[in-house]
Chains A and B, each alone.
Chain A
Amino acid sequence: MSEYVLELKGITKAFPGVRALDQVQFQLKKGEIHALMGENGAGKSTFIKIITGVHLPDEGELYLNGERTEIKSPKDAQKLGIAAIYQHVTCFPDLSVTENIFMGHEKISRRAKRILWNDMHAEAKRLLQELGSNLDPRTKMGALSVAQQQIVEIAKALSMQARIIIMDEPTAALTTRESEELYKITEKLRDQGAAIIFISHRFEDMYRLASKVTVFRDSRYIGTWGVNDIANEDLIVAMVGREITQLFPKRQGEPGEELLRVEGLGKTGYFADISFSLKRGEILGLTGLVGAGRTEVCQAIFGITDYDKGRIFLRGEEIHIKHPWQAMESGIGYLPEDRQKQGLVLDWGIGRNITLSALDQLSSRGWVDEQKEAELAKSLAEKVQVKAQSIFDLASSLSGGNQQKVVVAKLLTAQLDVIILDEPTKGVDVGAKSAIYEMISELAAQGYGIIMVSSEMPEVIGMSDRVIVMREGRVTAALDAATVTQEAILEAAMVSQTIS
C-alpha cells in the first residue's frame, strides 16, 4: 500500500496547437486537503479533467493507492471513487436536487430496475442534513443559489462514497459567510478520510484549509510545499515566475476634470448602492472577489444589462444607456472579461476584428472602404504590437495576450472618453502582461478615464490611482493609491462591514 491515494507522474496532454500539460506530477495523501494553485491557463483545469476521465493523457502514469490505473471515462472515475465539484456548477437545472445527487447511480429495485424515489429522497435528505443543510430534496436545482447548488454537488460526491474529491474554485461565486460554511464542510469531509484537491485563486482559502500546496505554471509542475513552509511572496513568484513589482510602468500627470459619475446604482440580485466618480487621465481600480458584482456593474454602465436604481452622469450630463452601441456613441468603451466569447470573432482575421466597431467611420453611405479599413487595421495592430504575420491572420491563431491586444486595438478605433477594462490580463502570459500595462498607462496619459476591474491584487495596487473594493454587490471601501495596501483591500473584499 502506497502512502498516496493518488499519484500522477509525467502527465503530458496536448491539444491542437497547445501543450496544456507538460510532464506534470502530483501526490495526494489520505485525509489531506491539498491546494492546487496557478494562474489561469496554467493547466489546472486540464489536470482535473485527466483525473476525472474527461481527457486521456498523452503520456504519463496514474496510480491509485499505489496501483497503476487508467481512467478512461467519467464513469470510470466515478467507480474509482473520484468526484469533482466544478468551478461552474454542472448541474441539471430542470431536475430535482435528489436527481442531481443520484444522476448516474440511481437507486433501483433489483428485478424491475424501477427507480426508488422514496429511498432516494430520504437518502438525499440525510446527506444534505449531514452537510448541515435543510434543503428540500424535491426542489428543482435551478431554483437554488450557487452556494446551495455546491452543497448539492458535495452531497453527490458523498453519495458516491468518493474518496478523492476535487473542488475547482468552489468559493469563486460564494459570499464570505457561504465560503465559511463550505470550509467547515470540507474539513468534515477530510476528517472522514477523504482526500481533497482544492483549487482556488484565493490565498485565504489555502491558508484556511490546506496543509500542502502545489503550484503549476505555464503547463508545468513548479513545486509542492507545506502551506506553512512557504511565504506568500515566494508562492506568488512561483505562480507568476518573477517579481511582479517591476512590471508596472511609472506614470506622471494629474487627473483632469470629472468624466463619469455613478450615483446609487443598483440591480436586484446583483448589486446595490454603487457610487463612484472617474476623472480624465485617471485609472480607477475596481476589485473584490470574483462574484462580488464588479462585472455586473460595468456591464450595466455599458448598457449590456439594465439597472433598476441610481443615476449615471457622463461629462456632467445624465445619461440613460440601454445598449452597448449607445454607450460607445456617448464615449464609453468596454473590454470584456471573456475575450474569446465576448470580444473577438475568432474565425475572422485580426484586421476585421479590429474594425468591427468602426465600420461607420470606414464607410460612406454604408459601403465599406476596404482600402481605408486595411490601413486603419494595420496601423492599430502595429500600434498595439500584435505578434502576427498579417492582418489576415485568424484571431483564433493568436495567443491569449495577442488576442487581448487585438481587443484593445478595437477599442482604440472608437472616439472614447471612458474605457472599462474587465480583467485585462486574465489568462495572459507575463510578457504580454507588461505590454498591456504599458498600453493602459499610455491610454491614461492620453486623457482617457479608465476603470480597471481586476482580481489580482498587485495589479490593482500597481496600476490604479484609486481603488474601489466591492463585496457581495456593495462598495465596501474606496482607497487612495498612495496609502492602499493588500491587507486593506483584502479586508474590504472579505470581511463583513456595514459601510453603505
Chain B
Amino acid sequence: MTGNTLEKTSLGARFARFRELGLLLFILLLSIGVQLRNPSFLTLENINDMVTNTAILSILAVGMMLVIVTRGIDLSIGATLALSGMIAALTVSAYPDVHPLWAILLGTLVGLLCGSIIGLLVSKSGILPIIATLGMMNVFRGATFMVSGGKWVSAHQMPASFKAIATGSILGINTLIFIAIIIYALFYYFITYTRTGRQIYAVGSNPDSARISGINNDKILWLVYTIMGGLSGLAGVLWVAKFASAQGDTAVGYELSVIAACVLGGVSIAGGSGKISGIILGSILLGMLNNALPLINVSPFWQMGIQGLIILIAVVINALVKRGVDRNNLMRRRI
C-alpha cells in the first residue's frame, strides 16, 4: 500500500504534467515564427495592443472556467456583455458627468442580474446549462436591441472620461490590463484559499459526494453563473469603452473564443479541473493568434475556422491525455 510506485508512465501522463510548459513553449515558438515573417510583431506597441485585447478575453475566461469546472457551459455571455455594455453606454451618453466608475458598477450589476437568472434556471429547475444559456442568450440579445431601439451608441456620444477607461493607465499599466490583473489575483485567492472556491471544484469533481459532504450544490451552481454574469457585465463596459461603440450585435459569438481559451488552457469539459495559470496562457495564445494572423497576411476570414480547429484539437488532446493518465494508473496496478 505504498504510494510511490512510478516505474512506467504513459505518454499522456507525462504530457499532463507539462501541459503549461508546453503551452508556453508553443507560444514562444509561435512568436518567433511570426516575428521572422513580420518584424513589427514584437514591437512594444503591438505587444501592448495584443495584451490589451487579451485582457477582456481573459477576464471572461476566469468566469467561464468556473462554469466549466461545474460541468456546465455558458453561451449567453456575448449577449450579457452586449446588454450591460449598451446600458452603460446609454447611461453615460445621457449623463456625461457621471464618474466612469459608476458606469463600470452599473454594467457589472446588470451582468450579475443576468447571470443570477441563468444561475436560478440551472440550479433550481434543473435545465441543462446549454439549453438555459442558449435561451437566455436570445433574451438578452433581444433586450439589447430593445433598450437601444436598434441604434448604436457611437464614439462622439460617449464622454471622454468614459473612453479613458480603456486608454488610461493606473501605476503605469493600462487600465484594462490592471483590472485583469486584479481580477486574476482576486480569483486566484478565491479558488485557492476560500472554502466556497474549493467547493466549486468539489461540485464539479463529484456532485453526489459533494452533496453528501454537506455542500449546497444549488448554491454553488447559482454562484458560478452569477459570477460569470458579473464578469461579463464588467467586460461589457470595458469593451464598449475600448471600441468606443455599443451596438446590438456587440460581441456576437465571443463566447466561443472564451470557451476556446478555457479548453486550450486545459480546463476539463468533464468538470472538476482547471487552473488560473492555464487559462491565462490559453487566453494569451488565442489573443496572439488573433493578432498575429493579420500580420503574416492570413486573411481575417480564416480566423473563425482556425479558432474552431484549435478548440477541436484542444479538446481532443485533453481527451487523449486523460486516456493516457488512466492507462498509466492501470499500468501501475500489478496483477
Which A residues lie at the B interface, using CB under 8 A?
A: 52, 54, 73-75, 78, 90-95, 99, 103-104, 106, 108, 113-115, 117, 132-136, 139, 142-145, 147-148, 151, 178, 181, 268-272, 293, 472-474
A268–B327 touching, CB < 8 Å? yes
Interface residue B335 (Cβ < 8 Å from any Cβ of A): yes
Contact yes or no, A104 B272, CB < 8 A: no
- Which residues between 245 and 281 of chain B lie within 8 Å of chain A, taking CB atoms? 268, 271-273
With beta carbons under 8 angstroms apart, the residue of B3, B193, B201, B213 that contacts A115 is B193
A269 close to B335 (CB less than 8 A): yes
CB neighbours (8 Å) of A144 from chain B are: 3
Residues of A within 8 A of B202 (CB): 92, 95, 99, 103
- Contact between B213 and A270, CB atoms less than 8 A apart: no
- How many whole Å from A240's CB to the nearest CB in chain B? 31
Which single residue of chain A is at the shortest CB-CB distance from B203?
A92
Q: Which of B205-220 contact A (CB under 8 A)?
A: 205-206, 208-215
Q: Known A-B contacts: A99-B202, A144-B3, A270-B330. Give 9 more (CB < 8 A).
A: A74-B211, A74-B212, A92-B210, A93-B206, A115-B193, A115-B198, A143-B325, A148-B1, A473-B335
Q: How far is the CB of B98 from chain A (nearest CB, A)?
A: 34
- Chain B residues positioned under 8 Å from A271 (CB to CB): 335
**CA gap between A75 and B214 in the complex, in Å:** 5
Contact of B209 among A90, A115, A142, A272 (CB under 8 A): A90
Residue picked from A99, A103, A132, A135, most chain B C-beta under 10 Å: A103
In terms of DSSP, what is the predominant structure of the interface of chain A?
A: loop
For residue B204, CB closer than 8 A to chain A, the reply is yes
Report which of A115, A147, A272, A472 forms a contact with B1, defined as CB distance below 8 A: A147
> Complex: how many Å from CA A91 to CA B325?
18
Contacts of A151 on B, CB cut-off 8 Å?
A: 1
B43 at the interface (CB under 8 A from A): no
CA distance A52 to B3 in the complex (A): 30
Q: How far is the CB of B151 from chain A (nearest CB, A)?
A: 47
Given contacts A106-B195, A147-B1, A268-B331, contact A78 B214 (CB under 8 A): yes
With contact pairs A114-B194, A271-B335 given, residues A134 and B205 touching in the complex (Cβ less than 8 Å) = no
Q: Nearest-CB distance from A156 to chain B (Å)?
A: 10
How many Å from the CB of B59 to the closest CB on chain A?
24
**A94 to B193 CA separation, bound complex (whole angstroms):** 17
How close is B218's CB to chain A, nearest CB, in angstroms? 14
* Residues of chain A with a CB closer than 8 A to B214's CB: 73-75, 78, 104
Q: Which residues of B lie under 8 Å from residue A139 when comparing CB positions?
A: 3
On chain A, the residues within 8 Å of B201 by CB distance are 92, 94-95
Closest chain A residue to B272, Cβ basis: A94
Q: In the complex, what residues of A have CB within 8 A of residue B3's CB? A: 133-136, 139, 144, 148
Residues of chain A within 8 A (CB-CB) of B2 are 133-134
A-B contact pairs, 21 of them (CB 8 A): A52-B212, A74-B214, A78-B214, A90-B206, A90-B208, A90-B209, A90-B212, A92-B206, A92-B210, A94-B273, A103-B213, A104-B213, A106-B198, A115-B198, A134-B4, A136-B3, A148-B3, A268-B331, A270-B330, A293-B335, A473-B335
Please report which residues of chain B, range 169-215, place their CB below 8 angstroms from some CB of chain A when the two chains form the complex: 192-195, 198, 201-202, 204-206, 208-215
Provide the bound-state CA to CA distance between A407 and B329, in Å.
34
In the complex formed, the residue of A with least CB distance to B328 is: A143
Task: For residue B148, give the distance in angstroms from its CB to the closest CB of chain A.
Answer: 42
Give chain A nearest CB distance to B278 CB in angstroms.
Answer: 13
Residues of B287-335 contacting chain A, CB below 8 A:
325, 327, 329-333, 335
**A91 & B333 in contact (Cβ 8 Å cutoff):** no
CA separation between A427 and B272, bound complex, in Å? 34
Report the Cα distance A142→B330, complex, angstroms. 12
- Select which of B192, B193, B330 is within 8 A of A268 by beta carbon: B330
